[in-house]
Structure 1
Amino acid sequence: MQPTDILLALAVVIIWGSNFVVIKLGLQGLPPILFTALRFLFAALPLVFFVKRPTLPFRLLAGFALFQFALQFTLLYSGIELGFPPGLASLVIQLQVFFTIGLAVLLLGERPHLPQIAGALIALAGMALVASQLDAKPTVIGFVMVIAAGLSWATANIFSKQMGKVNAIELVVWASLLAVPPLVVASLLVEGVDAWIKAATQLNWTSAWAILFQSYPNTLVGFGIWSILMRKYPTSTIAPFALLVPVTGMLSATLLLGEPMQWWKIVAGMLVLGGLGVNLFGTRVGRWLNLQRAG
Structure 2
Amino acid sequence: MELLKKSRAFLLLFVTFFFWGSVYVGGKLISDDVPAPLLGCLRCFVASFPLMLMARKHFGVKIDRADWKYFAGVGVMGYFLTIFLIQLGISLTGASMASLVNSVTPVGVTIFAALHLKEKITPTKVLCLVLALVGTFVITTGATGQGEMAGILVVLAAVVTWSVASVFMRQLTAKYPPILVTAYGMVISLIFHIPTGVAAAVQAGGTGLSSANILVVLYLGLVGSGLAQYTWTASLAELPASTCSLFYPLQPMFSALLGILLLNETFTPSFLVGLVLISADVILSTLETRKLAKQAQAGSDR
Class of the TM-score when normalised by the shorter of the 2 chains: 0.7 to 0.9
Tell whether the 8 Å contact from 2:88 to 2:151 is kept in structure 1 after alignment. yes
Post-superposition offset of 1:275: 3.3
Q: TM-score, normalised by structure 1?
A: 0.81
Identical counterparts, % of pairs: 22
Structure 2 residue 217 is matched with structure 1 residue 207: no
Tell whether the 8 Å contact from 1:61 to 1:171 is kept in structure 2 after alignment. yes
Q: Does the C-alpha gap of structure 1 residues 229 and 186 become closer, same or farther in structure 2, counting only changes over 3 Å?
A: closer
Unmatched tracts of structure 2, length 5 or more: 295-302
Post-superposition offset of 1:110: 4.3
Q: TM-score, normalised by structure 2?
A: 0.79
Give the distance between the partners of 1:107 and 1:225, measured in 2 at CA.
23
Tell whether the 8 Å contact from 1:115 to 1:283 is kept in structure 2 after alignment. no
Post-superposition offset of 1:167: 2.2
Report 1:1-295 matches (<5 A).
Answer: 11-45=15-49, 48=52, 51=56, 52-53=58-59, 55-56=62-63, 57-82=67-92, 84-163=93-172, 164-188=174-198, 191=200, 193-195=202-204, 197-199=205-207, 202-225=208-231, 243-282=249-288
- Count of aligned positions: 280
Give the distance between the partners of 1:66 and 1:26, measured in 2 at CA.
24
Deviations 1:235-290 (A, max 9, x none): 89x958654322111111111101102322221101011134435545766999xx
Q: Does the C-alpha gap of structure 1 residues 7 and 246 become closer, same or farther in structure 2, counting only changes over 3 Å?
A: same
C-alpha RMSD of the superposition? 3.3
Unmatched tracts of structure 1, length 5 or more: 289-295
Tell whether the 8 Å contact from 2:169 to 2:233 is kept in structure 1 after alignment. no
Q: Does the C-alpha gap of structure 1 residues 47 and 162 become closer, same or farther in structure 2, counting only changes over 3 Å?
A: closer
Tell whether the 8 Å contact from 2:50 to 2:226 is kept in structure 1 after alignment. no
Give the distance between the partners of 1:58 and 1:112, measured in 2 at CA.
28
Post-superposition offset of 1:159: 0.9
Q: Does the C-alpha gap of structure 1 residues 187 and 280 become closer, same or farther in structure 2, counting only changes over 3 Å?
A: same
Tell whether the 8 Å contact from 2:50 to 2:222 is kept in structure 1 after alignment. no
Which has the larger displacement, 23-32 or 161-170?
A: 161-170
Give the distance between the partners of 1:17 and 1:130, measured in 2 at CA.
18
Which has the larger displacement, 251-260 or 269-278?
A: 269-278
Q: Does the C-alpha gap of structure 1 residues 14 and 286 become closer, same or farther in structure 2, counting only changes over 3 Å?
A: closer
Give the distance between the partners of 1:110 and 1:235, measured in 2 at CA.
8
Tell whether the 8 Å contact from 2:41 to 2:193 is kept in structure 1 after alignment. yes
Post-superposition offset of 1:101: 1.1
Q: Does the C-alpha gap of structure 1 residues 182 and 158 become closer, same or farther in structure 2, counting only changes over 3 Å?
A: same
